[in-house]
Amino acid sequence: MEREAVYNVNSEVGRLEAVLLHRPGKELERLTPQYLEELLFDDIPWLGRIREEHDMFARTLESRGCRVYYYDKLLTEIFESEEVRRELVEELVKFTRINALREGKAIGEYLLSCSPEELTGIVIAGLHKNEVDLLGVERSLSYYVTDDYPFYINPLPNLYFTRDPGAVIGKGLSINSMRTPARNRESLLLSYIHRYRFGGESSARWYDYTLPDPIEGGDMLVLSPSVLAVGCSARTSAQAIEVLAKNLIHGPSSVKEVLVLQIPFRRAYMHLDTVFTMVDRDKFIIFPEIRESVKVFRITGRGGEDGSLVIRPEENLEKALCESLNLDGVSLIASGGGDRITAAREQWNDSTNTLAIAPGTVVTYRRNTASNDTLRENGIEVVEIEGSELVRGRGGPRCMSMPLRRADL
């Protein structure tokens, strides 16, 4: 199986050359009202329309010279290997605790009998109880006690937000430990793509999904080759940030410091990139409500070989960015044109969740008119896409993309 050395991300705004996406599929049709909260959705998207909008997003990236990779196609290719299929099934039944069920062996055998395409469908869309023939197989007590719950393996409706399970930093990868059970299998799938398609064992691994402390990609912004910003948020813990910082600063990376931006721990904000993203070398868009409340800390390495860290609070976000990026000044562009009501309404529709595809060029949702106009007034080229259904999962263009390679600035 041929591997590609694709990883190279040393900034947020370098020209986007390769990206990992997931086209929404059958997993969204398995959302029902009673399980929306558990699966992190507020509403049920219309699959036909959400796929049209996602296809438009992908075509927009391709039209700008970006190569698009898809989860399902990569996994199906990887699963052509019987050895890899067996490895995945063994790990999957442990990861989902199917192996603890009396019927676990029969389910594992069923998974091994699937074709590469069928197995890909199951690991993404889940395994419904009525999809496995268990005639004559003794069932576990939990089968009867939770008989109203329809799945042996949960669907992954959030997978089209490919930003969160992993983040390329430099030429290495962080495979993230997700905060919620609804999403933790996404990182498992990414680990197979990393091992058997892109990275292999030779690529640096900055974080691993098996670690206990949660960290998610929506909280990671690669500001420059030497500076990473990480949001301490409802989804990313302080403990995980320290582990990541230590691995980067004292490991084989060019990162010398990590800026920690602590934002309010609310679902409405969720990740740093729902309130703050980089749109040019010296320009950022920010949800004005958090501008004064965000707390900033700088993590650097201590001299010597003990691998310890120095953590110090910063006076404010603007000064910290200027110092880290060696700039005389930065522009913090207020979303919604700075109007409190407009900014709040558009932030709910991910106005600040912009995806930079080149310096000063970003992809946004068309619906956020005030924020888009404000970006243009500040010299930013705005490439708009439709998002009436995509936004129902509470994420924007940045959330829906995992950059694999950007041109260096």
* Residues forming the active site: 399
Which residues face 262 on adjacent strands?
Answer: 232, 295
Residues 274, 355: Cα–Cα separation, whole Å: 11
- Closest listed residue to residue 345, CA positions, set 322, 317, 310, 371: 371
Q: Which two tokens stand for residue 5?
A: 């050395």
- Pairing state between β 67-70 and 16-21: parallel
Residues 4, 25: Cα–Cα separation, whole Å: 26
Estimate to the nearest angstrom the gap between the alpha carbon of 317 and the chain centroid: 24
Transcribe 332-370 into DSSP letters.
EEEGGGG-HHHHHHHHHTTTT--EEEETTEEEEETT-HH
Q: How many CB atoms lie within 10 A of CB 95?
A: 17
Please name the amino acid found at residue 264. P
Transcribe 72-106 into DSSP letters.
HHHHHHHTTSHHHHHHHHHHHHHHTTGGGSTTHHH
Which residue, chain included where needed, has tokens 């998610």?
A: 216
Dihedral over alpha carbons 343, 349, 355, 359 (to 10 degrees): -20
Residues 405, 114: Cα–Cα separation, whole Å: 33
Q: Which two tokens stand for residue 27?
A: 């997993």
- What is the DSSP-derived secondary structure letter of residue 302? P
Rg from Cα positions in the chain: 21
Q: At what angle do helices 184-193 and 71-78 cross, to 10 degrees?
A: 60
Longest Cα pair distance anywhere in the chain, in angstroms? 73
Which residue, chain included where needed, has tokens 């000064």?
A: 319
- Pairing state between β 205-207 and 220-224: unpaired
Residues 384, 56: Cα–Cα separation, whole Å: 10
Query: Angle at CA 370, nearest 5°, toward 365 and 376?
Result: 80
